[in-house]
Amino acid sequence: MKVAVITFPGSNCDYDLFKAAQQVGGDAKFIWHRERGLNNYDAVLLPGGFSYGDYLRAGAIARMSPIMEDVIAFAKTGRPVLGICNGFQILCESGLLPGALMHNTSLKFESKDVMLRVDRTDTMFTKDYKTGQVLRIPIAHGEGNYGADDETLEALEDQGRVVFRYVDRDGELSDEANPNGSLNNIAGITNETGNVLGMMPHPERAMEKLLGSTDGLALFTSMAGSLQPS
């Protein structure tokens, strides 16, 4: 699995993603945002961070980067594109995913572990999880409050495109378990074809027992597994 980790000025989770990709046997390369060409890759990862200092809006400037044209073309080929945190914000700004990520309702930057429920296991990112499985994964963001108009939200729900939701320890939805005010406790969604996933929580920070959780590992093994020729 050849994996491109796109690095923008201000990305800060690029090494974590690089390491995560390597951990599941991926041949990872950093691609600077001004470079072009993703055709030889099997998967593209957009890391978290504060690209362009979050100027204008989080992700708004990064999506104008030359490489984003290639990321959009790559996504259209059906190969997996994963955006985490700022990567999710960039995917929304670029139109690869619908909706927007607004300021957390708490008015605070939230940096802590949250519980996530896996609602879809039929995606190339989640097939190694069990439906309804509850994961402990860290979040670290100020703008993770997912919002969309009613029509978009309905389409996401009807088409089963909400992959992860914030839940309590028992896997139940609640306002208390929602760290940022996201509609329907949405933590991660896919595009219509299911090959683009955006999520605010950081599975790449939950890869080592020593660091508190290995619940993110199955996301990367799922992706690697779905790229193996069967």
Partner 1 sequence: MNPYRIEVRVKPRPGLLDPQGKAIHHSLNSLGWEGVNDVSVGKAIYIDIDADSADNALATVEVMCRKLLANPVTEDFEVSVIDEMERTSS
Exactly one of 62, 75, 91, 100 binds partner 1 (CB under 8 A); which one? 100
- Catalytic (active site) residue 141: no
Return the SS3 of 82: strand
What's the rounded Cα separation, in Å, for the pair 205 and 150?
33
Smallest separation, CB 92 to partner 1 (Å) = 8
Nearer to partner 1 by Cβ, of 145 and 191: the residue is: 145
Check 13, 33, 85, 141 and give the catalytic one. Answer: 85
Exactly one of 22, 39, 77, 105 binds partner 1 (CB under 8 A); which one? 105
Residues 6 or more apart whose Cβ sits within 8 Å of residue 139: 85, 110, 111, 112, 113, 114, 179, 180, 200, 201, 202
The contact mask relative to partner 1 for 57-86 (x = CB under 8 A, - = no) is x--x---x----------------------
The residues annotated as belonging to the active site are: 85, 202, 204
Report the interface residues with partner 1, using CB under 8 A.
56-57, 60, 64, 92-93, 99-100, 102-105, 107, 145, 147-149, 181
